[in-house]
Chain A
């Protein structure tokens, strides 16, 4: 037994099988590609929100034919792997563009990052549309009636009241979606984009220290998602402070407290 542990110790800390210091020393190199990871995740999420909102509207307003299409889209997207969606987008879009008689010179110049953003946005929108639909339907009916009563049109009510209020309701699940998105970007090497994971694997390919690299990447992703979920939580609390009656937070809390003192 003792022999086993001493061999394990050697293996880890003498660096024969596993070099612990390599896990940390390569973090800065990996982080160089973090901006690309974030760029893909953020743009894809923004497109996903816009498209997801449109899909949600189709569902809420129950628009006849579009509703069926939306149902199919959500069901299909949720029922297929992201990896396959990425491949399909990467090979499919150029084919469609070719069929539309666009010059190959143009098609070949499309930066690969576009394919990954399109695929991830379409994938995420299937989930975010559901969250947004539920949130729109959860907005208090009285708020909408009040908006109508002061003369707001349907569009004005949507823009000024329904969207902001449903955003607060949907924020937790949209936030989870964003975290999922950051992790999903590790698959976009499929569309020939080098982001953080792919870059890391390329570094590791030089000296075959793949396991250390995967641990490095895992740590980096973990820290990023932790920071983001913390930020989202703070944002959510800030947005919701005007809902609570417990006197914590809120623009006028200081005033209220001063009044109690005086």
Chain B
């Protein structure tokens, strides 16, 4: 499992994460919802150490450390065992789809090239891009790029898969193809998955737990039914009444 205890982050004087406590088991899917600027993305970025958290402890598997005293090894450990899918895909632009996926395998995990390519091809087939293996990112649609990015993350077999608004930058007609890939990954239960998303129906459907964040704090934590149907805090009630959850899920 991955456990964050008392995690805090400041951007100068702005307190973006306030004493975050979260535990996610391997195989569990957790969605983080909330308004823009509530600290959702920062939370994910702190886990992957793209931002350095200022206070608190993180434990992942059997490794645990104080983030204020994080060593290079701690950061490397977190980055090796977690992987981020970005809102803007961030595919390496001078590498083909295949090379994007093999890059981490060859450079970081030192897997022989042939083996890495076989694995990458396999994953690209799974995300439905068998015929786009040798394409450069600019020749792919947004949805295809995001599916390559998901394959790139999966290839590394991270303990924790982080998805930071994976469909927010996509044209509406491409959202479904990416969501269906994420759903398949979620069902496989191979990772602890933490998804920041504005797709409420999707979050409701795939998540084991939902976190509602507001101004850097976790205000709600529970099953999708609990959080969406009977939120305790007033701000969560307002937020959830504003997002249109389709009727199917309101029981």
A250 to B86, CA, bound (A): 25
A243 at the interface (CB under 8 A from B): yes
A14 at the interface (CB under 8 A from B): no
Q: B27-66, CB under 8 A of A: which get 1 and which 0? A: 0000000000000000000001110000000000000000
Q: Is the CB of B108 within 8 A of A168?
A: no
Nearest residue, chain B, Cβ from A256: B139
Which segment, of A61-69, A110-118, A147-155, faces chain B? A147-155
**In the complex, how many residues of chain B place their beta carbon closer than 8 angstroms to a beta carbon of chain A?**
32
A146 and B91 in contact, given A243-B138, A251-B134, A252-B134 (Cβ under 8 angstroms):
yes
Q: What residues of B have a CB within 8 angstroms of the CB of A146 in the complex?
A: 84, 86, 90-92, 149, 152
CA distance in complex: A35, B114 (Å): 42
Choose, from B75-83, B122-130, B189-197, the stretch at the interface: B75-83
Chain B residues near A142: list those with CB within 8 A. 86, 88, 90
Cβ–Cβ contact B50 & A150, under 8 A: no
Residue-wise, chain A 185-208 has the 8 Å CB interface mask toward B (1 for contact) of 000000000000000000000000
Residue of A nearest to B79 (CB): A151
State which of A150, A151, A250 has its C-beta within 8 Å of the C-beta of B136.
A250
Supply 17 A–B pairs (Cβ within 8 Å), ascending by A.
Answer: A145-B86, A146-B91, A146-B152, A148-B48, A149-B50, A149-B79, A149-B153, A150-B103, A152-B108, A156-B107, A160-B107, A165-B93, A168-B94, A242-B138, A243-B138, A250-B136, A256-B139
Extra contacts, 19 of them, besides A142-B88, A250-B136 (Cβ < 8 A), are A143-B90, A143-B92, A143-B93, A145-B90, A146-B152, A147-B92, A148-B79, A149-B82, A150-B104, A150-B153, A151-B80, A151-B83, A151-B108, A152-B79, A156-B107, A161-B92, A242-B93, A242-B137, A252-B134
B residues sitting closer than 8 Å to A (CB atoms) are 48-50, 76, 79-80, 82-84, 86, 88, 90-94, 96, 103-104, 107-109, 134-139, 149, 152-153, 156
Residues of B within 8 A of A161 (CB): 92
Q: How far is the CB of B19 from chain A (nearest CB, A)?
A: 25
Residues of A within 8 A of B137 (CB): 242
Residue of A nearest to B156 (CB): A150
A150 with B83, Cβ < 8 A, contacts A143-B92, A164-B94, A165-B93 known? yes
Instruction: Determine the chain B residues whose CB is within 8 A of the CB of A151 once the complex forms.
Output: 76, 79-80, 83, 104, 108-109, 156
* Cα(A150)–Cα(B82), bound, Å: 8
Interface residues on A, range: 20 to 34
What residues of chain A lie closer than 8 Å to B84, measured between beta carbons?
A: 145-146, 149
Q: Which of A145, A150, A165, A242 contacts B108 (CB 8 A)?
A: A150
